[in-house]
């Protein structure tokens, strides 16, 4: 477990200053290429991992299925891996605990745990989520990795919970409760307005993670307001699958292959793997 402790400490340190950029992986191959491109850590995308298994996002995989896929991803790279475990594969604190113990066993040194019960509302109350976070912290310690980085995701903005004017206060109230329960980072997907992001950063007791993609502010702009972590979520997987669709459509309808221009050559891809 010594190596995992070192990786967990490294992941923790990457949140201390500057900004950690995480293009999310969906399988061992994408993780290896993301690490080869220079990522300091690899995050998984639950959506991407689910799609790679032929399932929809939103706990379309079971706990065991997700754990096994995270195990392959963690084994494929030398950098720290943080795993998106969605809602923990069950509502109860003991469900979250079981998930965290298993995911630590698979080699991940960080987790995302969301306060959504699934797709949409209602969210867990702050107190319910706090109990789940405490269970996660205790499970990590039992698994021999108390240093596990717990990134708590709040879906207030993603699912547009409540009246717009109340969402900032809701997120900040949750952040305070989640920090007290042992979370290490606050993930607020669905929020890219720099002024609001800056307000969250200023008042949050936890470093702030945003989800970015086309149309969002740049990494430098997020960093300028104090964001510590920028995730790309499902965006890279969507782009990869979109390329597969476009290249197939082109080959079938035009008989040409221009969509494949600019791809890494066979050796560059094959060479990131070892037997």
CB-CB contact of 40 with 20 (8 Å): yes
pLDDT at 1 over 70: no
**Residues near 139 by beta carbon (within 8 Å), at least 6 away in sequence:** 96, 97, 98, 100, 101, 104
Mean pLDDT of 130-149: 98
Please tell me the pTM assigned to this model: 0.96
If you write DSSP's letter for every residue of the chain in order, what string do you get? -HHHHHHHHHHHHTTTSS-EEE--BSSHHHHHHHHHTT-SSEEB-HHHHHHHTT--TTT-S-HHHHHHHHHHHHHH-SS-EEEE-TT-SSSSHHHHHHHHHHHHHTT-SEEEEESBSSSSSPBPPHHHHHHHHHHHHHHHHHTT-TT-EEEEE--TTTTT-S-GGGHHHHHHHHHHHHHHTT--EEE-TT---HHHHHHHHHH-SS-EEEE--TTSPPHHHHHHTT--EEE-TTHHHHHHHHHHHHHHHHHHHT---GGGTTPPPHHHHHTT---
Spacing of C-alpha 120 from chain mean position = 18
* Residues 11-63: tens digit of each pLDDT: 999 999 899 999 999 999 999 999 999 999 999 999 999 999 999 999 899 99
- Mean pLDDT over 237-264 rounds to 98
Average pLDDT over residues 183-209: 98
178 vs 228: CA distance, rounded Å: 17
Predicted confidence at residue 119, as pLDDT, reads: 73
Phi-psi region at 118: left, alpha or beta (left = phi > 0; alpha = psi -120 to 50): left
Q: Contact at 8 Å (CB) between 223 and 19?
A: yes
Q: Report d(CA 233, CA 212) in Å as an integer.
A: 7
């Amino acid at each position: 477990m010594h190596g995992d402790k070192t990786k967990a400490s490294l992941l923790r340190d990457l949140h201390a200053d500057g900004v950690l950029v995480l293009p999310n992986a969906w399988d061992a191959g994408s993780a290896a290429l993301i690490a080869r491109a220079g990522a300091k850590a690899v995050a998984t995308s639950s959506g991407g991992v689910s799609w790679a298994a032929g399932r929809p996002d939103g706990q379309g995989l079971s706990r065991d299925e997700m754990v096994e896929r995270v195990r392959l991803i963690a084994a494929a790279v030398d950098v720290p891996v943080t795993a998106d475990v969605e809602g923990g594969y069950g509502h109860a604190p003991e469900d979250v605990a079981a998930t965290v113990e298993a995911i630590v066993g698979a080699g991940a040194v960080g987790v995302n745990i969301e306060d959504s019960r699934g797709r949409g509302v209602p969210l867990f109350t702050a107190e319910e989520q706090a109990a789940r976070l405490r269970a996660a912290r205790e499970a990590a310690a039992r698994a021999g990795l108390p240093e596990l980085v717990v990134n708590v995701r709040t879906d207030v903005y993603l699912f547009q919970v409540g009246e717009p004017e109340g969402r900032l206060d809701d997120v900040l109230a949750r952040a305070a409760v989640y920090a007290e329960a042992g979370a290490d980072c606050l993930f607020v997907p669905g929020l890219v307005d720099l002024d609001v992001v800056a307000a969250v950063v200023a008042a949050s007791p936890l470093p702030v993670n945003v989800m970015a993609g086309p149309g969002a502010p740049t990494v430098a702009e997020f960093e300028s307001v104090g964001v510590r972590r920028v995730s790309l979520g499902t965006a890279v997987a969507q782009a990869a699958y979109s390329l597969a669709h476009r290249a197939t459509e082109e080959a079938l309808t035009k008989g040409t292959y221009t969509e494949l221009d600019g791809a890494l050559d066979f050796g560059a891809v094959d060479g990131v793997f070892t037997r």
